[in-house]
Amino acid sequence: MNDEQQHVEDGAGVVAAAPMAEALARLAAEEPPAEIGLTEPAADRAGQPYGTHRYASGGDASAPQTIVDGGGIKMVDPQVQLVFWGAEWTKPAPPTSPQAIESAVQVLCQGIYFEPLSEYGAFESITYGGSYYASSSEPPAQFVRGNVQGLVTSLIGAGSVPKPNTGNYADWIYCVLMPSTTVYQPGGLNGEHSVASWTDPDTKQSFKPYVAWILNGTLDQMTTTISHELAEAITDPQGTGIQLAPANPSNWNEIGDVCASVAYLDGVAVQAIWSQQSGACVVATSKTDVPYQRVPTGATLRVIATQLNWSRELEDYWIGQIRVTDDTGNTWDLYRPQAVELIANGANSFYVTGADGSRAQVEVGTTATGHGYLHTHPDASTADNLLSLPHFV
C-alpha cells in the first residue's frame, strides 16, 4: 500500500435506508409539502437566535437521551467538497441532476439547518467548497467503504481536490455522490461517513480525511442523506466526539441515527437531528422570519423587492417573498403562497415598474404538480421584471 492509499478506520456513521424511505413517504403524503421556515443567509443573522421545530413521529427518539462526549474532535468551520463519481453525472439527463444537488448543498450551507450543532461544541459555520466530477473512473457495481475512501485519497494525492489540514477543528468533508449504476455491497444503507488516512508523499505528514458517500436516489433522498451525514461528520468526525448512549466505537450511534423525521427547509429535504437542549429530534427554524402581514383588500400594490428561495421542484430559485408598497408609502412583506392566493382570489393586484417607465402586472403560474409561483406578465421591457428588483433577506 503506497503513501497515497487510504487506511480504513473501523468505525462509521450510517444512514439506514428503511426508516428514511418511510419518512420520505410520510413527507410526500403531506399537502402542501412541509416547508420549515424561510431562512436568511448566516451573515445576515449574526447574533440572532434560532428556533426549532420538534418532531415525534415514528422512528424519532424521545427524551430522556444521554449524550456521550468521547472528548474527540468536533468540527468548527468545516468545508464541504462534493465529488460526483462516475461518467453518468456528466452525461445528458442523469437520473438526478448534479446541478440540483450542488444548489441544494449550497442552500444547506447558507441556511440555518446546522446551527443546533453549536450546543455540542464550538461549531460556527459550514462552507460549500465546490464540486469535482470524477468522471474518468467508475465505482464497482457493488462498492464498499474502502472503495470510496480510496477514490478520495487518490484525488487528494493527484491534487484534484484540496488537501485536508491537520485533522483538527476546521477541515474538509469529502462527500462522494454515487451514480445509479452501483449499489452498496452489504446493503441497507443510504449513506455513511467515516475517517480515512492519507500520507503526503512529499512531506510524509499524515492526515485523516473525513469521507462520506451518498447512495444515488431522488433529489429528496440524496439531500436528506447529505444533511444527516454532514451533521454527524461535524459532531463526530472520528467516532470519538458526540454520540448517544450507548456509544459505540465501531457502529457510531450519532445524533442523526435516532431521528427519522424529514422536512423541507428552504425547499431542501433534510432530516431531523437530536437536540439535547430541546429533548427532541428537531429541524432548526429562524426566529427572524417576517411575520405574516395582511394588506388592505382591494388595494393595488407595487412590488419593490423580492426574496429568493430554492425550489426543489423547479430545481431553481423562485420568489419566496415579495415586499410591496402603496401610494402613501406603507410597506408589507408577503410570503409567496399568500401573494398567490390574493391574486388568484382577486383580492389584490400587484405590479412592477421599471426604470424605463414601463409597468407589468404580477401573475400566478402553476407548476406541473399544482404549486403556484409568481411571475410578471411578459412585455417589451425587462426593466419591469420581478427578477430585476433588489433582493431582501
CA 247/CA 132 separation, integer angstroms? 34
Indicate whether 219 and 347 sit together in one domain. no
- Which among 255, 260, 336 is positioned nearest to 292, based on CA atoms? 336
Chain segment 45-102, per-residue pLDDT in tens: 334 456 677 766 668 898 999 999 999 989 988 999 999 999 999 999 999 999 999 9
Indicate whether 205 and 102 sit together in one domain. yes
3-class SS letters over 75-121: CCCCEEEEEEECHHHHCCCCCCCHHHHHHHHHHHHHCCCCHHHHHHC
- Which among 114, 47, 120 is positioned nearest to 80, based on CA atoms? 114
Judge whether 393 lies within some domain. Answer: no
What is residue 31's predicted lDDT score, i.e. its pLDDT? 42
Q: Which H/E stretch holds residue 189?
A: strand 189-195
State which residues form the domain around 58.
Answer: 13-286
Instruction: Please give the span between the terminal C-alpha atoms of the chain, in angstroms, as a whole number.
Output: 51
Judge whether 295 lies within some domain. Answer: no
Indicate whether 242 and 367 sit together in one domain. no
Judge whether 352 lies within some domain. Answer: yes
What is residue 341's predicted lDDT score, i.e. its pLDDT? 85
Indicate whether 136 and 244 sit together in one domain. yes
Give me the residues paired with residue 140 across strands: none
**Can you say how many angstroms the Cα of residue 106 is from the centroid of all Cα atoms in its chain?**
7
Judge whether 340 lies within some domain. Answer: yes
What is residue 147's predicted lDDT score, i.e. its pLDDT? 97
Residue 345 is given by DSSP the state T
Sign of CA dihedral 215, 18, 75, 43: positive
Indicate whether 226 and 333 sit together in one domain. no
CA 231/CA 235 separation, integer angstroms? 6
Judge whether 7 lies within some domain. Answer: no
pTM for this prediction: 0.70
What is residue 65's predicted lDDT score, i.e. its pLDDT? 95
Judge whether 292 lies within some domain. Answer: no
Q: Which H/E stretch holds residue 66?
A: none
Indicate whether 33 and 143 sit together in one domain. yes
What is residue 56's predicted lDDT score, i.e. its pLDDT? 65
For 337, list phi and psi in degrees, rounded to 5.
-60, -35
Indicate whether 18 and 137 sit together in one domain. yes
Q: Which H/E stretch holds residue 263?
A: strand 262-265
Indicate whether 64 and 29 sit together in one domain. yes
Indicate whether 219 and 336 sit together in one domain. no
| Residue 277, all three cell numbers | 437542549
What is residue 112's predicted lDDT score, i.e. its pLDDT? 84
Residue 170 is given by DSSP the state S
**Can you say how many angstroms the Cα of residue 269 is from the centroid of all Cα atoms in its chain?**
7
Number of domains in the chain: 2
Angle at alpha carbon of residue 24, lines to 95 and 175, rounded to 5°: 55
Q: 270: helix, coil or strand?
A: strand
Of 233, 264, 286, the one marking the end of a domain is 286
Residue ranges of the chain whose pLDDT lies below 50: 1-10, 31-48, 287-290
Of 286, 312, 338, the one marking the end of a domain is 286
For 343, list phi and psi in degrees, rounded to 5.
-70, -45
Judge whether 47 lies within some domain. Answer: yes
HSE-CB of 10 using CA atoms within 13 angstroms:
5
Query: How many beta carbons lie within 10 A of that of residue 373, not counting itself?
Result: 19
Indicate whether 33 and 102 sit together in one domain. yes
Indicate whether 162 and 274 sit together in one domain. yes
Judge whether 38 lies within some domain. Answer: yes
Indicate whether 358 and 243 sit together in one domain. no
Residue length, the chain? 393
Task: Give the amino acid at 218.
Answer: T
Burial per residue of 341-355, b for 16 or more beta-carbon CB atoms within 10 angstroms, e otherwise: ebbeeeebebbbebe
For 53, list phi and psi in degrees, rounded to 5.
-105, 115
Of 240, 263, 286, the one marking the end of a domain is 286
